[in-house]
């Protein structure tokens, strides 16, 4: 029972950390838990479903040792919800970039979340999908 409580408390803590991460963090300091600042896509970006794009993020502030290693993945975020749509995985955070194919979506605004040490999302941008309402 106690163990479960601790786990939920941890889960909640992790969640509120995600929820409180600013969409466009201004100050990025080198520290062990590193959440790289996404530099592309930007708010002006427009993607077409099925096309390939290169997502980029800053790596200058990467700590010498990244707490949970260099591996990461990118998912799609819709509104305030993180989806289970994986756009890239087995990526290396130190590369500062990853190739992504724009998913098939109903045309709308989405953002991307780069997961490594922690989750960090970029701005909303438009994806033109095969269906528009």
Binding site for ligand NAG (CB under 6 A): 64-65, 107-109, 126
The rounded distance, in Å, linking the Cα atoms of 22 and 111 is 13
**Least distance from ligand NAG to the Cβ atom of residue 46, Å:** 10
User: Three-state DSSP class for 17?
Assistant: helix
**Least distance from ligand NAG to the Cβ atom of residue 102, Å:** 14
Among residues 131, 113, 121, the alpha carbon closest in space to that of 48 is found at 131
Question: Which CB sits closer to ligand NAG, 25 or 63?
Answer: 63
Question: Which CB sits closer to ligand NAG, 96 or 123?
Answer: 123
The rounded distance, in Å, linking the Cα atoms of 103 and 101 is 6
**Least distance from ligand NAG to the Cβ atom of residue 47, Å:** 12
Question: Which CB sits closer to ligand NAG, 19 or 64?
Answer: 64
Q: Which residues pair with 71 in a beta bridge?
A: 92
């Amino acid at each position: 029972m106690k163990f479960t409580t601790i786990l939920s408390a941890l889960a909640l803590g992790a969640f509120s950390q995600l929820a409180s991460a600013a969409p466009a963090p201004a100050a990025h300091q080198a520290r062990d838990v590193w959440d790289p600042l996404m530099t592309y896509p930007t708010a002006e970006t427009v993607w077409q479903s099925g096309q390939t794009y290169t997502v980029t993020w800053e790596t200058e502030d990467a700590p010498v040792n990244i707490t949970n290693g260099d591996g990461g993945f990118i998912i799609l975020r819709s509104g305030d919800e993180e989806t289970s749509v994986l756009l890239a995985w087995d990526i290396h955070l130190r590369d500062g970039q990853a190739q992504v194919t724009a998913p098939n979506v109903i045309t709308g605004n989405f953002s991307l979340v780069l997961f490594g040490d922690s989750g960090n999302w970029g701005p909303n941008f438009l994806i033109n999908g095969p269906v528009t309402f």
